[in-house]
Structure 1
Amino acid sequence: MSTRTELFEGALILTDKGPRIVVGMTPLTYVTRGIDGGIEEIDWREVESAREILEGRIEAVSYSVTAAWEGLSTAGKEQALDRQEVVLEILTGYARGHAALAREGEPFWPFNPKDQHSLRFRLAQMSKRLEQGYSVDRARHRENENSPARSKRRLGPSSPNTLRNWCTAYTRSVNGGVFALIDGRRNRQQSLYESLEPEIRRIADEQVSRLDGSTSDLNIDELYRRTILALRSEGLTDLGVPEKTVRSYLSHLKKRAGRTTRSQRTNHLRGSSSLTSFPALRPGQVVAIDVTRADNLVWDQWSQKVISVEIITALDVASRVVLGVRVVPRSADSHTAGLILYDVLRPFVMAIEPDEVHDWRWAGVPESLGLLPDAVSEAESISRAGAPLIGEQAIPGVLPESIRADHGSIFTSAHFRNLCERFQINLLLSRGKKPTDNAFVERWHETLQRCLQQAHGHKGRNVSQRGSDVGKLRVINDKPVFLGDGPLLTARELELHLKEFITVDYHRSWHQGLTLVDRQVSAYDAELRMTPLDIFDAMLAATGRLHVLQRPDLIYDLLPIVWGTIGHAGVEFKNLTYDCRELDEFRNVTKGFFRDGDRAAPFFRDPHDVSRVWFRHPDSDRIIEVPWRKAHQLEAPMTDAMLAEASKRVRQRGGNRALNSGSAQKEILDQLNDVGDLERLRRNPEMSDWSESSLIAARMRTARSKFDHAEAQGLMDSTEPVKLFQDRTTSDDTSAGDDLSSYFDDVWPDYDESET
């Protein structure tokens, strides 16, 4: 209805009271005459063109009929206008209602107003004429012959009583006009099942409402049976149940609920989501964290097996910057959730060289990034030319005000809650069974598909997407290879691949969900395409410098604290004795030295590596590593879970009562090495309660723990100052055109350098 048209004297405008002919114009209105001869002015702003749908019938329509008119099909509009012509010819003698628009030969007998025939006579003659015209309509006959089931009859024979009803409805002062002539079957409103008793509809609604995705799907026969039983249980046996109508109503409800359990769950949750975007205004206001299963199989070098892993991600809602990502074994625990918070708190840089991409490393935060116009100008240059890949790419860090997570046990655990309380972070838990509460990170999981499908070992999201060769391994050059694919990545390589994708691709790509909130910036009105890092920089410049913890020993603030008394033999936790020379000065401290009431001192304990604990020196504030006395004899990964399994076996052999104090630790050591022996675990049926996957997960967690602590210790021992982020828009090392294919060939087989 948006096509432009020029109205003229004699043009026809369709209004809710019938057609009106334009007889004159003023600077702001059209002067029109109705079929009764009355003059009325219509504001030109209340008129729309009708050329697109009713060319040759009317020139324009008024806004008073636009909404209802647009709801009709073309056939419905044509039928209503045909009936209007019949009614107008009966009442005025002219099919278009006005003598000035008379067609050739009009007015026909007996509809000339001068003849003054009775309405009854005119109705009878019009009915007769319609019947004669219908019988000789050759086009209609051809339509019926070619497609009898789809005959497009516009206006068939009508009895005089039907025509009288049309005229009466058309001339009503309320709800009259052309819309009174619309076929009710084409203009049905609201309910299609008004004939059903309200109680029957209520029971049927209740039965279908239970299809929310949590139960298996039901067919119409079962839903009908349950509806009848529910009616009988409520004593509604006197209601006449029209089976065909009830089944049709149930089918209508089930289609709306969803044909599959997945669609039923989606439709059930649809009403719980917000109708507007979250108004996050600054980085760190809300950080979304979630865990998802990696859709790639990875190779575990220690067990020589193909395993599945999980990906835990922290996403800044305001800028969509990925603040931290880790590949972890199944299933993630509360300490893993604490480690991703550690990644959120500390900023990173990632160095990219022509032949190598380094892992993320800890860095500081610059004092300022310039003013907002500078950030916009920088973003514009990036969008047009692309920032160089070579150099150091920034991954910012923030101190979150709030964390959005689901009700998973890792986020509701006492450890994670204590961390949020320690750093004064609000923990916002999503409502049960409503993943839309954390929609931003859920959408990130979809973006991850672009990264995971570039790596070898992609197995699809479910079995319906899984290729027939997935799982068929061949060893080529000592590397496991899927048929038709390539060498599988290890968990560590997969994590590095994710970080490369985030740094080089995701953070540097236009994000359609990001816009600037300052409309005074001309770039916003020009619909500037912004990347996550662009928005982060712009928001950071507008809100001021972010204050985050920049200590290299930050990881120890996120470890659980245990209290133990330092004696001559060291400090003991769970029958394990830890000791080192740095504890000598604290072996004979007085009560209240560390806390009131006793001589216990605080130690940091990593559940993923309990072969050592850490102690912060109260004077120098230096972190001291305190190893287990028998750690040098340890051959197995020593996590909390492994220690619990070894302790259980000691208890089964009689516990510490059967041992002296000197042999207790040796027994635990033997059991740890026993449980950690993969070949023995595979051969010994008595050890079946300790699964091979649990042992693989323990080794992965311990290896990652050693990596994180070695990184922290290296930073603390370094005499060089912490390096700040480099500017992403400039680099003195090399240009954007340097060849990276030598590195990316192994990770991104289909890497196209020109696209970056």
Structure 2
Amino acid sequence: MSGWTTTLRPGLPLTFDGEQFTVAEIEGRRVLLQQVGVLGEPKWRQVDTAMLLSHPTTRILLDTPEPETAVATVLGTLSEDEDDALTVKYRHVQEVLTGYRLGCAELALEGEPRPAYASGVPMMRRYAAKANELGVGESTVRRWAALAESGPAGLVKERPTTDVLDRADPRWLDAAREAVARYVKASRPVRDLLLLEIEERLAEKQRDADKNGEDAEKVPSPARTTAYAILRALDRGTNAFTGSTKGKRSIANRPQGAYGRLRATRPGEYVILDTNTLDVFAMEPVTCRWVQCELTIAMDLYDRCITGLRLTPVSTKAVDVAGVLFETVRPHSPVRSGSAEALPYCGIPANVVVDPRKLVDAAVNGLPLLPSVAAETIVFDHGKIYLSNHIRSVCEKFNISLQPARPYTPTDKPIERWFRTLREGLLAALPGYKGPDVHSRGEKVEEEAFFFIDELEAIIREWIVLVYHRRHHRGLVIPEFPKLKLSPLEMLEHGINRAGPLTIPIRPDTVYEFLEEAYVTIQHYGVQHDTLIYNGDALNDFRNKPSSVRGPEAGKWPIAIDSGDVTQVYFQDPQDKRWHSLKWEHAAAMDGPVSREAAGYARRLATKTHRFPDTRRALVELLDRWGAGLTAGAAERRMAVRLSQQRLRLLGQGQATDDAAALPTARRVAALYADTVQSPRVVEGSIEPDPALTGAEDLGGDDDEDEECDAPFPGDDQVSLAEEEDFYADAWESR
């Protein structure tokens, strides 16, 4: 009997179910156990043999041999030729021990047993005969016979290790691992410099040890080639020296042990929220600018169905994430979402899993990312806690808890893989696709065709509904039928049939509590928020009346606002607690929802440029330009009227009576003309008289004579002008 087995007998010590026993009696399949070390009367326990040996707590308290490498592992390292040679060697050993190569008389080959190995031949003579037959020493045959007690695997030679890490000093390896770990979040290091850094750090430790009087042995450094091989071994699976540095950081964040997984047992049990930047450019419809888009989605973990999404330009805001969860609780109709059909409804989620790094929006000074939908207590990195009574009340009403995923643990967020599916399945085929990184980006991507943001969201929704929800998903498995291929919609139907009905709100209007809140006054024309006026019949009983609200918003009425559609707001009647929709006064002229950002940009543009004239504002500006503003007094207005008369004149005051001949230039020209007035032609240095300076009789008219019409046009002949210096000599003279 080998050291790996023993006999189930009375007196055998063992532990079972956390207590120590001794086998007292064996009767058939039943074993009677006596507890050891109990004062007073002994305690007994009877168990079935199969139950005793199959129980995970059962341990036999005997000396056991040291653990060995598994037989399958030892034999699996052999090549086909080596395996054939091992079979032949083992048959030789069996012939020495039994006289038969196959180990028994029933399987005897022709001519077996041979005389040298027949029954009755001493073992030493058998060893000698086999040694002479194979040309090896007798001690080798005896060693084979001893190793064969473990079967053919015992005859396999122990191969020396080929791990390059075993060829270096363990202290040098520890220093190398520390040096590589320091560059996880840094740029990729150069191998030569890293090896130099390792040597310097080890030398520094040696100097510190000598200074403190410690007897420390110098750490030997491996050869240059070996050191490079060790760095290649450390790089394997870490991206330390190859691959992308982003992948290096992601690999470093992986759990070091077995990967855990959040498992859902029914639809709606866990809903995962996440936001990611899309690898495609889009056009913002209001500003007509190229923008990057961020997509926020909610995914049901059980069936991988997308239950809500929102595409936002540049960055995601808190209200966008709240809107996604709002759609999860209250699905949008296909008309509003712009898709062929609505996203599947998985019920009110019991838990919402989010990335705690995204619970704080750095763009808004650290405000909670989920102001209307969050857990009672949200713990962010290093103990940042956000608690809101509004959040707690809404979530308690719907029995929703928020569960943050572990920070920097990619395996806790399987939704990350969905964004890759979206990129490879849809975005890569769209114009404006820029690739996942700068190395994959094409040239002049912005010059391609493009989609507006709302069009891109409609395309993504349609792809989800028509493609993603209907195709095979490898992550969906029914344990009873592991080979069955399932789509997210089929898994949703299976979960409903298996786990029962979904959780839905009793009153659909209670979901309005997820929306952000604002306080306004109710006037005779309705309510005004962000310069937009809303009205409805629900305000009839509250117009021009203060509310019972106290505090900073005393006297004002609360309304709920969906930032994705500002064409309507929601008002809760304080008497019957029902919600009512208040329409924007110009909503009838719109064919779809208008976001708050679009309306805000339109207002800023109008305020900045006055693109569309406002008659009242134009009147104010007109009067201000003419000095008679609406705030001026009577005397100021009379003065403005008198000043305006000067503005209306084509010539300034007093200039109408001035004689043109009084101008200095005109006097000089007249003097030149006086010397040559008798001659119709001028000599060198003179000019033709200006008709404006002559009498009316010099001017031509419609009743010209024939000889006047045939006369040459003044200026046709070359006429010399006055010298330039003389002409501008009096330019600086004042009158």
Q: TM-score, normalised by structure 1?
A: 0.54
Distance 1:197 1:295 in 2: 47
2:180 counterpart residue number? 208
Deviation at 1:321, TM superposition (A): 1.5
1:254 aligns with 2:235: yes
In structure 1, what is the equivalent of residue 202 of structure 2?
231
The one-letter code sitting in structure 2 at the alignment partner of 1:74 is E
Counterpart position of 2:475: 513
What do the CA deviations read for 1:207-263 (whole angstroms, capped 9, x no partner)?
334454x22233443332232233233337623414225543333222243332355
Aligned residues of 2:536 and 2:581 also touching (Cα < 8 A)? no
The alpha-carbon deviation at position 584 of structure 1 amounts to: 7.7
Instruction: Tell me what 1:616 maps to.
Output: 572
Letter in 2 for 1:470: V
Q: Is the 8 A contact 2:520 2:559 kept in 1?
A: yes
Q: Quick one: which amino acid aligns to residue 238 of structure 1?
A: E
Report the equivalent of 1:380: none
Which digits, 9 at most, give the CA deviation of each residue in 1:670-698, with x for residues without a partner?
Answer: 78732999xxxxxxxxxxxxxxxxxxxxx
Tell me the matched-pair count.
497
Residue 446 of structure 1 is matched in structure 2 by 421
The 5-angstrom pairing of residues 622-701 of structure 1 reads 622-623=579-580, 625=582, 673-674=607-608
- How far did residue 283 of structure 1 move? 1.5
Deviation at 1:287, TM superposition (A): 0.8
Alignment of 1:394-473 (within 5 A): 395-409=344-358, 413-414=367-368, 416-420=370-374, 421=392, 422-424=394-396, 425-443=400-418, 445-468=420-443, 470-471=445-446, 473=447
Q: Show CA shifts across 1:60-89 (max 9, x none).
A: xxx984453224333543454465567778
Larger Rg: 2
2:467 aligned counterpart, secondary structure: helix
- Does the 8 A contact of 1:347 with 1:397 survive in 2? no
* Mapping 1:93-104, distance limit 5 Å: none
Q: Is the 8 A contact 1:281 1:318 kept in 2?
A: yes
1:504 lines up with 2:466 in the alignment: yes
Supply the distance in 2 between the matched residues of 1:402 and 1:205 (Cα, whole angstroms).
Answer: 40
Q: 1:122 to 1:512 in 2, by over 3 A?
A: same
1:290 and 2:274 matched: yes
Point out which structure has higher relative CO (alpha carbons under 8 A, 6+ apart).
1
Superposed, 1:310-325 pairs within 5 Å as 310-325=294-309
- 1:64 and 1:229 map into 2 onto residues whose CA distance is 42
> Could you say if the C-alpha distance between residues 670 and 267 of structure 1 is closer, same or farther in structure 2, counting changes exceeding 3 Å?
closer
- Does the alignment pair 1:72 with 2:46? no
Q: 1:533 to 1:403 in 2, by over 3 A?
A: same
Q: 1:134-173 counterparts in 2 under 5 A? A: 164=139, 166-167=140-141, 169-172=143-146
Which ranges in structure 1 are unaligned for 5 or more consecutive residues?
1-15, 17-62, 131-159, 351-357, 363-390, 474-481, 647-667, 678-756
- Gapped regions of structure 2 (runs ≥ 5): 5-68, 210-215, 362-366, 375-391, 612-735
Normalising by the residue count of structure 2, what TM-score does the alignment of the two structures yield? 0.55
Change (3 A) 1:77 1:459: same
Q: Tell me how far apart the structure 2 counterparts of residues 306 and 442 of structure 1 sit (CA, whole Å).
A: 27
Quote the Cα distance in structure 1 between the aligned partners of 2:201 and 2:221.
Answer: 16
Deviations 1:706-752 (A, max 9, x none): xxxxxxxxxxxxxxxxxxxxxxxxxxxxxxxxxxxxxxxxxxxxxxx
Which residue of structure 2 aligns with residue 155 of structure 1?
none
| Residue in structure 2 matched with residue 539 of structure 1 by the alignment | 495
2:341/2:465 contact within 8 Å kept: no
Q: Is the 8 A contact 1:348 1:361 kept in 2?
A: no
Q: Secondary structure at the match of 2:280?
A: coil
1:601 is matched with which residue?
557
- The CA deviation string for residues 624-675 of structure 1, in whole angstroms up to 9 with x for no partner, is 649799xx9xxxx9958997xx9xxxxxxxxxxxxxxxxxxxxx97787329
Distance across 2 between alignment mates of 1:77 and 1:470: 59
Give, in angstroms, the shift of residue 329 of structure 1. 0.9
One-letter code aligned to 1:225: L
SS in 2 for 1:562: strand
Distance in 2 (alpha carbons) for counterparts of 1:571 and 1:406: 38
Q: CA RMSD in A?
A: 5.1
How far the C-alpha of 1:325 sits from its partner, in A, is 2.4
Partner of 2:236, secondary structure, is helix
Whichever residue aligns with residue 572 of structure 2, its letter is R
| Secondary structure of residue in 2 paired with 1:290 | strand
CA contact (8 A) 1:193 1:249 kept: yes
After superposition, residues 36-435 of structure 1 pair within 5 angstroms as 65-81=71-87, 84=90, 129=135, 164=139, 166-167=140-141, 169-172=143-146, 178-185=152-159, 188=161, 193-194=165-166, 196-210=168-182, 212=184, 214-235=185-206, 238-244=217-223, 245-258=226-239, 259-260=242-243, 261-271=245-255, 275=259, 277-348=261-332, 350=334, 360=337, 395-409=344-358, 413-414=367-368, 416-420=370-374, 421=392, 422-424=394-396, 425-435=400-410
Deviations along 1:482-536, whole A, 9 cap, x unmatched? 3xxxx4322222222222222222222233332346x5xxxx48x5543322222
Alignment check: 8 A CA contact 2:567 2:584 kept? yes
Gap change, CA 1:614 and 1:292, over 3 Å in 2: same
Q: How many Å apart are 1:113 and its aligned residue?
A: 10
In structure 2, relative to structure 1, the CA distance for the partners of 1:292 and 1:105 (3 Å cut) is: same
Measured in 1, the distance between the counterparts of 2:229 and 2:490 equals 54
The one-letter amino acid of 2:580's match is I
- Counterpart of 2:455? 493
